[in-house]
Amino acid sequence: MSGENATFFSGASKYVLDEELAKIVNISMALEMPLLLKGEPGTGKTMLAHAIAESLSMPLLVLNVKSSLKLVEALYQYDTLTRLNDSRFGDSTRDVSNIEEYIRMGKIGQAFVSEIKTVLLIDEIDKADTDFQDDMLDVLDQMEFDIIEIDKTMKARTRPVIIITSNAKKDLSDPFLGRCNFHHIAFPDQDMMRRILNVHFPSVDQELLEICVRTFYKIREFQGIEKRPATRELINWVRALRADPDFRPKDLIQGKIPFLGILFKKSTDYHQATLQSKRLRI
Amino acid sequence: MFVDFFYILRDSGIPVSPTSFLRLHKALAEGLVSNLDDFYIAARTLLVKSERFFDLYDRVFAHYFRGAELPDFKGMELEAAARELLNEWLQNPEALANALGMSKKELQSLSPEELLKYFMDRLKEQTEAHHGGSKWIGTGGFSPVGHSGYHPGGMRVGGISRNKSAVKVAMDRRYKDYSVEAPLTQAQMGEALKRLRRMVPEGPRDNVNVDETIRATTRNAGEIEIVFDRSLRDRLKIILMVDNGGWSMDPYIQLVQTLFNYARAQFKDIKFFYFHNTIYDYVWEDPPRRFKPQRVEEFSTWDKDTRLIIVGDASMAPYELMATDGSIHIEERSGLPSIDRLHMLADIFSHSAWLNPTPRRIWPMTRTIGVIASIFPMFELTLDGLEQAVTSLMSKN
């Protein structure tokens, strides 16, 4: 039954999915509940939503939460300036007296009006304040919101698959947690990391891969680092190493680590890492 | 189905709600769960909402389905269990009896580790509550472990800190939550803290000033001219860390409480943390310093512009600050001395201040105050001191 399979998530081309997470995604989709993902940066929280959208061929809508974001902006915007402009110059095809033509849907609004089921990624929810979080879940719970300007209630045509990520800097409120499913993605272990690299570099030399992964996990243990390198940095680093004709895997064994700047992006971190890498032996 | 599983989870301290339990049943009824592995994952994602409880969940699950030994619900190790035991025994401080153990000199020669071992050994030997006597743990007496005992380098288990310096605290008094409303006595303190609210226009010019727009438009004879203002934005974030542990802070709690009540209203983004004497691996979000630990390293990922304000008397035994295992909390031993942690915090947050409730004139009498004042700018917890602290926190660099 291919139609049946289309609603089950089992991984995507560039995303290595562990079985546990796949089950959690499928349970959340079946129960139609938002899935809250926590975990340190670089564990693939955001990528998961992309992967779900890709494998189920649904459009992906990304709401990047900022601390200044108001809920109504995520739902819709009434573009008063354009209307004022139109009324002044009258050179547009829009009907100035019809306010509805100046209502623009925000990301949540777009997910609601979409004809087909969408994946709605609400990225870094912890940046917003608690009121925003609670109000947003109210909207997502009821699957409708009011547009005050035209006194119209927007009902969702389809219930989107909702993925919410949090970097866990703040604790989310209890009512919020009560309405979500929860999963914490741990930083991938070395085996998982090898699989991830193999997906990204299908033809990579296994010896190189092995030494890179081992070096990477040593490097992550450097002291006093503000932003530790994550999966994304490792992938870019391996890409750089492969592109460098002068690079020999043996250099890594002796603690000569090229392109540290790819792994450490803050100047103090880079400095620290340079000092500590001199003492590193794999 | 699985109702007792639900209750074991609840009893073990995981905040599971009935709603989520019903949801789990919905999942079961819809056939989403076909085997035990599925159940494990489904129940966790539906019931457990924080990774902090994952481990506990695992243990309860193993107990329920595999018959593994039931976890010790309060998550207590031996030391902590000892603390609970002591708590019971020391409830009756009136039963102060003379107790004789080793001589004072012998006691002085014991290191903290030896003391701790002695303490644990006594606990293992002892089988009933006991006050006074030669070597058992009870209240009073010269035994190096116990309450209100006189021992210069002794372990303190409750009671008033006589010399503002204790070697080990095996039983903390947990202060009640400070955030409760208390009568305000020092109104000016809130006024001074208000200066921290840097209400300066720093946002983008994206607020339409309607009055000015109308004025400008009429002046232009109807040609629309829109005037934008900068949106006002209070960008200041505050971290407040309060020493609420030692008895040495006791006289200042009222003062700090006043500060709290004001601070809560003054800032939108303000985080409170608690510590005892000085900062080691963790600070805590809850005043009893038990349930919500926050690793000090993780502050490095916080906004650098956050203002760090520490309130504490900075008075302690020098080794608590300098020694690699100086923590008076036996469960908190990372190998890094507290002074390194303080330096780290001062490095992370370029704007920081230490408010000290003890009067400035007696600072030179305590060595650790001098040491900490060399790391953080230190100010008196008075109106004047606050004024200076605010100026220092607001300076450009």
- CATH number for the domain harbouring residue B344: 3.40.50
User: Is residue A282 one of the residues assigned to a domain?
Assistant: no
Domain boundary residue, one of A169, A184, A199: A184
State whether A31 and B226 contact (CB < 8 Å). Answer: no
Instruction: Give the tokens for residue B51.
Output: 């990774």
The model's pLDDT over B107-161, given as tens digits with 9 standing for 90+, comes to 445 444 454 455 555 545 544 444 444 444 444 334 444 443 333 333 333 333 3
A7 and A44 assigned to the same domain: yes
The residues facing B294 across adjacent strands are B283
B389 and B265 assigned to the same domain: yes
Nearest to B165 by CA among B393, B320, B390: B320
Domain boundary residue, one of A132, A163, A184: A184
Half-sphere exposure of A234 (CA within 13 A, CB side): 31
CB-CB: which of B224, B268, B302 is closest to A84? Answer: B224
- CATH number for the domain harbouring residue A27: 3.40.50.300
Yes or no: say if B45 and B64 are a contact pair by the CB < 8 Å rule: no
Yes or no: say if A27 and A50 are a contact pair by the CB < 8 Å rule: no
Residue B50 contacts A, CB cutoff 8 Å: yes
Yes or no: say if B352 and B282 are a contact pair by the CB < 8 Å rule: no
Residue of B nearest to A20 (CA): B41
State whether B49 and A177 contact (CB < 8 Å). Answer: yes
A61 and A168 assigned to the same domain: yes
Residue B15 contacts A, CB cutoff 8 Å: yes
Nearest to A161 by CA among A62, A232, A82: A62
Query: How many residues in total does chain A contain?
Result: 282
A181: chain B residues, CB-CB within 8 Å:
45-46
pLDDT surpassing 50 at residue A28: yes
A29 and A159 assigned to the same domain: yes
Sole residue written with tokens 């680093």: A237
B94 and B55 assigned to the same domain: no
B133 and B9 assigned to the same domain: no
Nearest to B13 by CA among B56, B63, B55, B59: B56
Yes or no: say if A187 and A217 are a contact pair by the CB < 8 Å rule: no
The model's pLDDT over A33-48, given as tens digits with 9 standing for 90+, comes to 899 998 877 778 888 8
Nearest to B75 by CA among B334, B287, B320, B331: B331
User: Is residue B98 one of the residues assigned to a domain?
Assistant: yes
A164 and A201 assigned to the same domain: no
CB-CB: which of B23, B38, B268 is closest to A23? Answer: B38
Residue A177 contacts B, CB cutoff 8 Å: yes
Q: Find the range with the poorest average confidence among B26-30, B81-85, B263-267.
A: B81-85
Query: pLDDT band at A2, cuts 50/70/90?
Result: very low
What are the E-state strand segments in B37-193? 145-146, 155-157, 168-171
Domain boundary residue, one of A141, A166, A184: A184
State whether B302 and A169 contact (CB < 8 Å). Answer: yes
**Which residue range is the domain that position A114 belongs to?**
2-184
Question: Count of CB atoms within 10 A of residue A236's CB?
Answer: 14
Yes or no: say if A64 and A221 are a contact pair by the CB < 8 Å rule: no
Half-sphere exposure of A97 (CA within 13 A, CB side): 0
d(CA A173, CA A176): 5
Q: Is A16 or B94 the better-scoring residue by pLDDT?
A: A16
State whether B23 and A227 contact (CB < 8 Å). Answer: no
B38: chain A residues, CB-CB within 8 Å:
23
User: Is residue B181 one of the residues assigned to a domain?
Assistant: no
Rounded to the nearest integer, the mean pLDDT of chain A is 83
Residue B226 contacts A, CB cutoff 8 Å: yes
What pLDDT shows up at residue A175? 81
Residue of A nearest to B269 (CA): A129
Instruction: Give the tokens for residue B208.
Output: 């339409």
| Helices A19-31 and A45-55, axial angle in degrees (round to 10) | 70
User: Is residue B320 one of the residues assigned to a domain?
Assistant: yes
B256 and B385 assigned to the same domain: yes
Domain count, chain B: 4
State whether A169 and B301 contact (CB < 8 Å). Answer: yes
d(CA B352, CA B368): 18
d(CA B17, CA A36): 17
A175 and A205 assigned to the same domain: no
d(CA A219, CA A44): 20
B60 and B126 assigned to the same domain: no
**Which residue range is the domain that position B50 belongs to?**
3-66
B60 and B95 assigned to the same domain: no
Residue A183 contacts B, CB cutoff 8 Å: yes
Residue A221 contacts B, CB cutoff 8 Å: no
Query: pLDDT band at A118, cuts 50/70/90?
Result: very high
Instruction: Give the tokens for residue B59.
Output: 């243990």
Residue B42 contacts A, CB cutoff 8 Å: yes
A125 and A43 assigned to the same domain: yes
B375 and B241 assigned to the same domain: yes
The model's pLDDT over A168-196, given as tens digits with 9 standing for 90+, comes to 655 677 788 888 888 888 888 888 888 88
Residue A24 contacts B, CB cutoff 8 Å: yes
State whether B23 and A38 contact (CB < 8 Å). Answer: no
A178 and A202 assigned to the same domain: no
B240 and B388 assigned to the same domain: yes
What pLDDT shows up at residue B166? 29
A15 and A84 assigned to the same domain: yes
Average pLDDT of span B193-220:
70
State whether A24 and B45 contact (CB < 8 Å). Answer: yes
A169 and A40 assigned to the same domain: yes
User: Is residue B177 one of the residues assigned to a domain?
Assistant: no
User: Is residue B256 one of the residues assigned to a domain?
Assistant: yes
Domain count, chain A: 2
User: Is residue B72 one of the residues assigned to a domain?
Assistant: no
B280 and B240 assigned to the same domain: yes
Q: Is B229 or B260 the better-scoring residue by pLDDT?
A: B229
Q: Could you give phi then psi for residue A162, rounded to 5 degrees?
A: -105, 120
B300: chain A residues, CB-CB within 8 Å:
226
Q: CA of B349, closest CA in chain A: separation in Å?
A: 13
